[in-house]
Structure 1
């Protein structure tokens, strides 16, 4: 694939991946509070606040450990080239 075509294709693929992750997170957020709302333990507004609070707290405690692990050891950067991607 030519370099002039490869970059826009790569940008498009990254955009599609980010959109997919957004939609996946949107559905995961609903799944995380569905039980507590359907059993009427909490009102939907409080359940959303509850979930947002604990997602933030989890980030404060665990940070970027998963991203750092993937960045340091799981994927060998020297192997990933444009030929591997395309």
Structure 2
């Protein structure tokens, strides 16, 4: 049976490769977001100590902040495009 860690690692690797190949800014930001949350999950399931829990919480919190930054950036780019300042 395939473990949860193997599935998460496969997703992180796949999204990392797609991040390198993607040309669209939106896709790159979304792939980066998936990689961040995937790493948080890997840290949480790999390190089975109190320090691992703290590290996983930190990675998850900062991944959430990254997610908010991604959505804010997408919104600002759309506003700039609507204003005609960006091609």
Quickly name the TM-score band, shorter chain normalised.
0.3 to 0.5
What is the TM-score of this pair, normalised by structure 1? 0.39
What is the TM-score of this pair, normalised by structure 2? 0.39
Query: Which structure is larger by alpha-carbon Rg, 1 or 2?
Result: 1
